Amino acid sequence: MATATRYIGRPLKRKEDPRLIQGLAHYVDDLRLPEMHYVAFVRSPHAHARIRSIDTTRAQTAPGVLAVLTGQDLDKAMGVIPCAAQLPEMKLALRPPLAKERVLFVGEPVALVVAADRYTARDAAELVEVEYEPLTPVVDPEKALAKGAPVLHPQYSDNVAYRWELEGGDVKAAFAKADKVIRQRMVNQRLIPVAMEPRAVVADYQPGENQLTVWSSTQIPHLLRTQIAAVLGVPEYVVHVIAPEVGGGFGSKLNVYAEEVLVAHLAMRLGKPMKWTESRRENFQATIHGRDQIATMELAVRRDGTILGLRCRILADLGAYYQLLTPLIPTLTGLMICGCYKIPAVRVEITGVFTNKMATDAYRGAGRPEATYFIERAMDLVAAELKKDPAEIRRKNFPQPKEFPYATPTGLIYDSANYQKSLDAALKKSNYRKLRAQQAKLRRQGRYLGIGLSTYVEICAMGPSSAMPAGGWESATVRVEPTGKVNVLTGASPHGQGQETSFAQIAADLLGLEPDDIRVVHGDTAVVPYGIGTFGSRATAVGGTAVYTALTKVRDKLAAIAGHILQEDPKRLVFRDRKIFLKSNPAKSLAFAEAVSAAYVAKTLPPGMEPGLEATHFFEPSNFTFPFGAHVAVVEVDAETGEVHLLRYVAVDDCGRVINPLLVDGQVHGGIVQSLGQAFLEEAVYDENGQLLTGELTDYAIPRAWDVPRLETARTVTPSPVNPLGVKGVGEAGTIGATPALINAVVDALAPFGVRHLDMPARRERIWQLIRRARQAGSRPTARRAGAGRDRRVR
């Protein structure tokens, strides 16, 4: 890029933050419209039941109630909740916005109440009487496959949603010539995304203009608009979607929800503005869940540690119905199962299964954390089996830097990497050898230090449209105003990632301006061109590239105008300090604003040039990008209580070129902390009747500040050849890389007790039991006293 990088690469503070931390930002629930009405949902308390009858009489006659509707009332008014994923021979399991004959999970809406205020709506919802005939719920995904298990969707003969297979290389031969086969069943448990802001929707219909405006806390305003139009059966131009401030998504708002289309429908049907804000309990029950895969991994290895082949069978619990991408997520696990290792032969078999639970879908990492966890745990098992250091086993199987672009047997092309370099950096930064020595010393004292490694690669910058369910490109418009100020309109929909800052940095450098000269606009379908949205670590690599290319078009035009005015070759002009000047003679210059003004006044334009100054670009990436890194976790297990204390965390990430290191660190920190949640704390627990026992934050544990030590981050930089910025994406790196490092550390700490594997979350009672069992079996260390039991808070 022949541009000075005065801002790209600098740790600029976020332009978004002043309004957020001063309470000046607007979320959906902050909206108040005249005559606004409120929606409350009546939800099923049963996981599996037939609806015998719904009596809405009492609710309907309650003062202040405008309407009470059931699935039957909506019958012809709307379609089903869309699923964009298509897999060969996949059974459809599409959800009606309100349940009709049956309910298939706890929290499924069966009726709704519209009232003049939210209190009346909630009160009236309790007056709706639903008679259920309970059916046997299907909760355990393994039992769901058993012969004779109740079938969720009666049009099918069993609960198998799909089977998906992938094979590359000669798997049979690899296993035949292996010295050893390492085998392990692993559970990647069901998680609840817990965005700080729950979902919220406001809809307003103006019949005169035939305009339906929907404000939704969503990651995908444009796709939502298309889908609302389709579900409601209205032309797309009727619908206008705005994603105002969005208080966290993590994939849970990369969806089209029943509540969104219902609230939109109600605004049109009843002619009043409608609002619905999800409660935390509803958020737990009826917003998508993540993960929930059971894998059986098999690695064929040579005695020297070379991995010859991999077999993996995955059972993916999809829940009761499909949401937008439900069936697709586990296939990402399949594609990435080799991790950053050169494994010549691979076979993956995935079975998607229906159960009486909320649907799973994309949750930060979406399929890749599962893949990374499975392969990284397996690598540690190989190291343990062969009595080799986990770092050496990894290094032995890395492809060499010169082998990139590297083709995997799963059919992907890893763009660029240097895995050796990031591993070396992480080992050095953590002082790995010294840690091992310390561990040995402490073990002799009866203290259990664990050191866990993870070297990961992820698939990002989603993605080439050929490989995406509904387009993988991104759009940008750069519109320079006559005064010389710049609007960057992006089709991506940032909701915390900080692109209002990083895109302004790119624009400032390309146009020789200051970041304050640039305003980044997003999330409004009437303002920004059609775009795909923010997910899959794509906003900078795909959306940023669209911005970059649109900026280049604007700059070329401005250079032509300035060249014409200055009577110089545009190619010799430089953009800097809000000026356009001759590189060899900076005195020969034109203010940026003057050149812009010329484009609008249109008296001094080069012959034939069209006036105005605006450019749009739709960027179609040629490949995904593949960020990578190496993480080291150091934990101490309190052998008396089973508590795990995270002592240190070192993360070396490579996300290609860095636009703003502060933003990258923020993404890495947040991701690691979410990983910590999965590794140690979080699990959506359904009981045998399909009741969600972790139904509130009092029982579903998420990490707190005191759980997290100072995170030690560093980077290597291997630019991506896939886009001109050389960026790869970093939004999910932490959640993908960290979970296995944390569990590997716990298992490493427990090695003296003969522990080989431990499923997540690493609950202290489970650890306590493993230790106790080992001690009872004798022959294991019987240190009288474990670690001092560090207090969770520093006083």
Partner 1 sequence: MIPAAFEYHAPKSLEEALRLLNRHGSEAKLLAGGHSLLPLMKLRLAAPRCVIDLGRIHALRYIREENGRIAIGALTTHTEVLESPLLRTKCPLLPQTAWEIGDVQVRNRGTIGGSLAHADPAADYPAAVLALDAEIVAASADGTRTLRAAEFFVDMLTTALLPGEILTEVRVPVLPPGTGTAYRKLHQPASGFAIVGAAARLTLGSGGKVERVAVGLTGVAPKAYRAAAVEKALTGKKASEKLLAEAARHAVPQDVELLSDLHASAEYRKAMAVVFTRRALEDALARAQSKKR
Partner 2 sequence: MKLQGSYTLPAKREAVWQLLNDPKRLAACLPGCEQLDVVGSDHYLVRLKLGLAAISGSFSGSVRLSDKKPPDSFRMNVEGRGAAGFVQGEANIELVSDGDQTVVRYSGVASVGGLLASVGNRMMELAARRTLEQFFANVASQLRA
Query: Which positions touch partner 2 (CB under 8 A)?
Result: 45-47, 106, 126, 134, 281, 284-285, 687, 689, 691-696, 698-699
Residue in the block written with tokens 């699923």: 83
- Binding test (CB under 8 A) with partner 1, winner from 685, 688, 754, 756: 685
CB closer to partner 1 out of 263 and 427: 263
116-124, 133-141, 291-299, 338-346 -> range binding partner 1 (CB under 8 A): 116-124
We find the least distance from the C-beta atom of residue 364 to partner 2, in angstroms, to be 24
Least distance between partner 1 and beta carbon 168 (Å):
41
Integer CA distances (angstroms), 191 to 155, 700, 734, in order: 29, 9, 16
Q: What angle do CA 701, 707, 709 make, to 5 degrees?
A: 155
Q: Quick one: 446 exposed, middle or buried, by C-beta within 10 A (0-12, 13-18, 19+)?
A: middle
- For the bound state, the minimum distance from the C-beta of residue 329 to partner 2, rounded and expressed in Å, comes to 25
In angstroms, rounded to a whole number, what is the distance separating the alpha carbons of residues 616 and 15? 24
Q: Which residues touch 616 (CB under 8 Å, ≥6 apart)? A: 475, 476, 477, 478, 529, 550
What is d(CA 252, CA 192) in angstroms, rounded to the nearest whole number? 9
Least distance from C-beta 55 to partner 2, angstroms? 13
* Residue 285 touches which of partner 1, partner 2, none (Cβ within 5-8 Å per kind): partner 2
Applying the rule CB under 8 A, the residues between 275 and 294 that interact with partner 1 are: 279, 281
597 interacts with, out of partner 2, partner 1, none, CB within 5 to 8 A per kind: none
- State which residue, 11 or 134, has the beta carbon closest to partner 2: 134
- In the numeric block, the tokens 């600098």 are attached to 10
Q: Which two tokens stand for residue 496?
A: 């915390």
Measured from the CB atom, the residue of 151 and 681 that comes closer to partner 1 is 681
Least gap, CB of 191 to partner 1 (angstroms): 14
Q: Which of 762, 711, 709 is nearest to 734 (CA)?
A: 711
Question: Which residues lie below 8 Å from residue 244, measured CB to CB, with a gap of 6+?
Answer: 26, 27, 28, 30, 31, 215, 217, 523
In angstroms, what is the minimal distance from the CB of 320 to partner 1? 23
- Give CA–CA dist 192/182, Å, rounded: 31
* Interface pattern 640-679 for partner 1 (x via CB under 8 A): xx-x------------------------------------
CA angle at 162 for the pair 159 and 167, rounded to the nearest 5°: 140
- Binding partner 1 (rule: CB under 8 A), the pick from 407, 609, 693, 777 is 693
According to DSSP, the residues that pair with 347 across neighbouring strands are 167, 311
Under the binding rule (CB under 8 A), the answer on residue 790 touching partner 1 is no
Question: Quick one: what does residue 389 bind among partner 1, partner 2, none, with the CB cut-off 5 to 8 Å set by partner type?
Answer: none
**Rg for the chain, CA atoms, rounded:** 28
Residue 122 interacting partner from partner 1, partner 2, none (CB closer than 5 to 8 Å by kind): partner 1
Q: Are the CB atoms for 261 and 233 separated by under 8 Å?
A: no
**CB-nearer residue toward partner 2: 139 or 348:** 139
Which of the ranges 201-209, 386-394, 701-709, 751-759 carries the binding residues for partner 1, by CB under 8 A?
A: 701-709
Part of the chain binding partner 1 (CB under 8 A), chosen from 156-164, 407-415, 458-466, 694-702: 694-702
- The two tokens of residue 761 are 């979350």
Query: Kind and range of the H or E element at 329?
Result: helix 329-335
Which residue's CB is nearer to partner 2, number 161 or number 692? 692
Size of the site for partner 1 (CB under 8 A): 28
Cross-sheet strand order for the sheet of 102-103: 102-103, 49-55, 129-134
Site pattern 614..643 for partner 1 (x: CB under 8 A)? --------------------------xx-x
Least distance from C-beta 128 to partner 2, angstroms?
11
Sheet architecture: strand order including 628-637: 448-457, 628-637, 644-654, 711-715
By a kind-dependent CB cut-off of 5 to 8 A, residue 106 interacts, out of partner 1, partner 2, none, with partner 2
Between CA 300 and CA 296 the distance in angstroms is: 13
Residue 204 binds to partner 1 (criterion: CB under 8 A): no
789 binds partner 1 (CB under 8 A): yes
Q: CB of 94 within 8 A of CB of 81?
A: yes
Among partner 1, partner 2, none, partner that 689 touches (CB below 5 to 8 angstroms by kind):
partner 2
Partners of 768 in the β-ladder: none
Which residue's CB is nearer to partner 2, number 118 or number 429?
A: 118
Contacting residues toward partner 1, per CB under 8 A: 118-119, 122-123, 126, 279, 281, 640-641, 643, 681, 685, 693-694, 696-702, 704, 765, 768-769, 789, 792, 795
